[in-house]
């Protein structure tokens, strides 16, 4: 069987059919690449499938790592007892967690504020907890952070609509915050106070502290325990002040060393 090639462009197959090589190659090429190439999308085609979605930064999944503090702070900035029955003491960029475990043993540890309170402030000037809503509020000068406790990861996570700037009607810098016996949230600088709604970020009333809270210690920074008859205040030197709710005055004071109250080893000042 013989194949006759007339020229470069035309040839004869073994069957005697004359083939045009350029046209034949073009047909084969178009057929092959059309089967493997992507089709041009039409406006009527379904929405593109997103294979890789980059979401927001996720919160930490596990408990925070405690800080090994060798030196005790010179003073305490703020304190609050959270809804989880643990006390949180703030000093500089650290927060000290104090509580009793199931065996009744006291546990004390220190963390960076930003580790325990996700996306939190570097320092805290006042703190309080709404025992009804279980929300812990941190105030850094004129910025308010609202938090809820996550038992699974042993951290606080930021609540909705937070952080916010304090209501402009609050003209002082809070250094004391607490929940009063009537349920109102109070923030104060020692001289003036405001009843404050942290959810709506509104000050509903403002007045002189001494007119409405007689006998309240001016150096108090927060509450560590409340009962129907007694409020236990803490001052910046870690002294416990016993406030009688019927007599509206301090009836006893217990001086404590900061190193005995929080997790630190040395008396050296930060």
Domain boundaries, the chain: 1-39, 78-261
Q: Is 51 a residue whose pLDDT tops 50? A: no
Share of the chain above pLDDT 90, in %: 63
Cβ within 8 Å of residue 247, ≥6 positions away: 215
Q: Give pLDDT, residue 3.
A: 45
**What are 146's two structure tokens?**
């609202």
For residue 88, list its beta bridge partners: 80, 97
- Residue with more model confidence, 259 or 26: 259
Q: Give pLDDT, residue 266.
A: 62
Q: Average of pLDDT values for 90-117?
A: 94
CB 176 within 8 A of CB 126: yes
- For the entire predicted model, the pTM comes to 0.75
- Residue with more model confidence, 198 or 8: 198
With cut-offs at 50, 70 and 90, classify the pLDDT of residue 264: confident
- Residue with more model confidence, 33 or 182: 182
- Residue with more model confidence, 14 or 210: 210
Cα Rg, the chain, nearest whole Å: 35
Q: Give pLDDT, residue 31.
A: 53
Phi, psi of 258 (to 5 degrees): -60, -35
Query: Which of 67-81, 123-137, 154-168, 210-224 shows the lowest per-residue confidence on average (mean pLDDT)?
Result: 67-81
Q: Is 267 a residue whose pLDDT tops 70? A: no
Count of CB atoms situated within 10 Å of the CB of 245: 14
Decide yes or no: CATH 3.30.360.10 for domain 78-261.
Answer: no
pLDDT, tens digit, 9 for 90 and up, residues 188-240 = 999 999 999 999 999 999 999 999 999 998 899 999 999 999 999 999 999 99
Query: Which of 26-30, 79-83, 195-199 shows the lowest per-residue confidence on average (mean pLDDT)?
Result: 26-30
Cβ within 8 Å of residue 115, ≥6 positions away: 60, 64, 65, 155
Q: Is 242 a residue whose pLDDT tops 50? A: yes
Q: Average of pLDDT values for 177-190?
A: 95
Query: Which of 60-69, 153-162, 244-253 shows the lowest per-residue confidence on average (mean pLDDT)?
Result: 60-69
Q: Give pLDDT, residue 8.
A: 42
**If you average pLDDT over every residue of the chain, what do you get?**
83
Question: Rounded to whole angstroms, what are the CA distances from 18 to 9, 27, 29?
Answer: 10, 16, 20
∠ CA 114-91-189, nearest 5°, is 105
């Amino acid at each position: 069987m013989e194949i006759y090639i007339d020229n470069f462009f035309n040839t004869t197959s073994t069957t005697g059919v004359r083939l045009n090589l350029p046209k034949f190659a073009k047909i084969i090429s178009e057929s092959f690449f059309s089967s493997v190439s992507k089709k041009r999308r039409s406006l009527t085609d379904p929405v593109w499938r997103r294979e890789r979605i980059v979401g927001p930064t996720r919160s930490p999944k596990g408990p925070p790592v405690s800080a090994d503090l060798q030196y005790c702070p010179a003073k305490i900035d703020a304190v609050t007892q959270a809804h989880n029955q643990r006390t949180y003491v703030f000093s500089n960029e650290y927060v000290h967690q104090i509580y009793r475990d199931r065996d009744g043993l006291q546990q004390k540890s220190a963390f960076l504020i930003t580790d325990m309170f996700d996306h939190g402030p570097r320092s805290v000037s006042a703190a309080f907890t709404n025992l009804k809503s279980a929300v812990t509020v941190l105030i850094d000068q004129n910025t308010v952070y609202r938090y809820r406790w996550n038992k699974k990861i042993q951290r606080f996570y930021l609540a909705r609509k937070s952080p916010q700037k304090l209501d402009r009607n609050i003209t002082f810098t809070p250094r004391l915050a607490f929940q009063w016996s009537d349920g109102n949230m109070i923030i104060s600088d020692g001289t003036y106070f405001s009843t404050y709604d942290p959810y709506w970020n509104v000050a509903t009333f403002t007045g002189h502290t001494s007119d409405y809270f007689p006998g309240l210690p001016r150096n108090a920074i927060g509450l560590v325990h409340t009962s129907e008859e007694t409020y236990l205040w803490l001052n910046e030197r870690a002294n416990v002040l016993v406030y009688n709710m019927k007599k509206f005055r301090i009836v006893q004071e217990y001086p404590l060393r900061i190193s005995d109250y929080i997790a630190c080893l040395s008396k050296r000042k930060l």
